[in-house]
Chain A
Amino acid sequence: MTPDIVIVGGGLVGCSAALHLARAGRRPLLLEVGRIGAAASGVNFGGVRVQGRALFELPLALRSRAIWDNLVDIVGTDCEYRRSGHLRLAKTPADLDAVAAYAEKVRPAGLDLEVIDGAEIRRRHPAFNATLAGATWSAGDGQANPRLAGPAFARAARAAGAEIRDNAKVVAIEPVAAGFAVATADGQRVTVPQVINSAGAWAPDLAASLGDAAPGRAIYPNMVVTEPLPPLISCSLGTYGNGVYLRQVERGNVVFGMGRGRLAAPDRAVPSAETSLAAMAEAAWLLPRLAHAHVIRTWTGIEGELADGQPVIGPSPRHQGLFHAFGLSGHGFQLAPAIGAVLAELATAGSSPTPLDGFSITRFTAG
């Protein structure tokens, strides 16, 4: 079957796009240089949270929430997604004011957050550090197993007719009369009318090679996990500012992150021991009962972050038929399912019911 659209990058964004395109009757060919869903999408923290996002992101994030909530119907398996709720902790009264103000701001957009003060935190969560000033509680947020998500979307996409190829590195995308000639490292070439650039941290380079520049850099969020422990906390949580974020998986391991790892070689990021130790101290501060637990593993991954901390999602201003979705800046796991749906709409209908103002790549060139 000849493909009518190529997707570059088999992370959760690319896999979701493949699924939605195939279900819309298109013939997507997804090309992934490594393994499906094994980059940022496969190693992230697993937080599926809407709270804390920019106002203009909320329609997209809430659309994604609806997909996460119905994952079994959509991809046939739940990827261990649990609607466990998410707490955004405030350490100081000033932080509490900030998260409470955010709760006010997002209510009209349909995001319901409950503001809870220090006393209420202590009542609900006696295991937490007793000096917390408060939090906002988002009952509709959750967590999932990132290692399962990308491959599950890819399996569903394949079943719907998508062609998915791993170990296939795209080395060039060349605009031609019929659209784009996409060349892979093994010397193959395919010409299609449309291309989706969902190559994660590597996507900005691909975009730049086609004249679509977006300033950014790669980041390496540093992750830590403990041995399995008795139940301690059922929701996912984060700290206002750049503090620790943490969740306990059903098997008992407590996963948390804070700070950054580092690059050891091109495309090989490694966790940083100093960062891990700082995160461990912070986790122990937050949950004193964790103090005696043991850490069994640390890791990191490579993710693209743009200059303003927000993604690019939408058509290329230069090339008809080219769509970008990258720079997810450390919070794209939650968004990815909906981004794929939106990309499919853009490529098929030319527009999406989900407002995308704010995601345009032209924000970096205009003015």
Chain B
Amino acid sequence: MTGQFVRLAETERPEIGFTLDGMKLTALAGDTVLTAVLMQRRAVRRSEFGDGPRAGFCLMGACQDCWIGDVDGRRFRACSTLVTDGMALVTLP
């Protein structure tokens, strides 16, 4: 599966591991969760109201279209949260 985002710069950062819905993936230290996910996928969530997948929109914490969760049940904005080593993400709801 190819992702939505493409790296153009800052590719020398250390690699870190995380999981998304149980699948093992890698990101670079300093990636937001949104970057980490959209490097691999084209969406981060589905609209609650049945109109399809969403992949965030504003990247600045305004549109609230990038909510994602982790295995502990926490929920956060993917664009405003840095991915950390070992993070276990789950798409919502």
In the complex, residue of chain B having the shortest beta-carbon distance to the beta carbon of A292 = B73
Please state if B48 and A251 are interface contacts (CB–CB under 8 Å).
yes
Question: Contact: A252 with B48, CB < 8 Å?
Answer: yes
Q: Which residue of B lies closest to A230 (CB)?
A: B93
Measured CB to CB, the nearest residue on chain B to A296 is B64
- Report whether A229 and B73 are in contact in the complex, using a CB–CB cutoff of 8 Å: no
Let me know if A228 is at the binding interface, CB within 8 A.
yes
B67 cross-chain contacts in A, Cβ below 8 A:
227
Nearest Cβ in chain B — how far from A227, in angstroms?
A: 8
**In the assembled complex, which residues on chain B have CB atoms less than 8 Å from the CB atom of A293?**
75
Q: Complex formed: what's the CA distance from A289 to B75 in Å?
A: 12
Chain A contact residues (Cβ within 8 angstroms of B): what range? 10 to 19
- C-alpha gap A99/B29 in the complex (Å): 57
Q: Is A125 an interface residue (CB 8 A)?
A: no
B71 to chain A, nearest CB (A): 12
**A294 interface residue per 8 A CB criterion:** yes
CA distance A289 to B73 in the complex (A): 9
The secondary-structure label for the interface of chain B is: loop
User: Are the C-beta atoms of A251 and B73 separated by less than 8 Å?
Assistant: no
Is there an interface contact between B49 and A251, defined as CB atoms closer than 8 Å? yes
Check if B48 sits within 8 Å of A228, measured CB to CB. Answer: yes
Q: Is B74 an interface residue (CB 8 A)?
A: yes
Q: Which residue of B lies closest to A252 (CB)?
A: B48
Closest to B70 in A: A292
Chain B nearest CB: distance from A232 CB in Å?
11
Asked if A229 meets B74 with Cβ closer than 8 Å, knowing A251-B48, A251-B49, A252-B48, the reply is no
Give the chain A neighbours of B74 by CB distance below 8 A: 292
B73: A residues at CB distance < 8 A:
289, 291-292
- CA A48 to CA B74, docked complex, whole Å: 33
Contact with B along A276-303 (1 / 0, CB 8 A): 0000000000000101111000000000
A–B Cβ pairs within 8 angstroms, 18 of them: A227-B67, A228-B48, A228-B49, A228-B93, A229-B93, A230-B93, A251-B48, A251-B49, A252-B48, A252-B93, A289-B73, A291-B73, A292-B69, A292-B73, A292-B74, A292-B75, A293-B75, A294-B75
By Cβ-Cβ distance, the 9 closest A-B pairs, closest first, are A228-B48, A292-B73, A230-B93, A292-B74, A292-B75, A252-B48, A294-B75, A229-B93, A251-B49
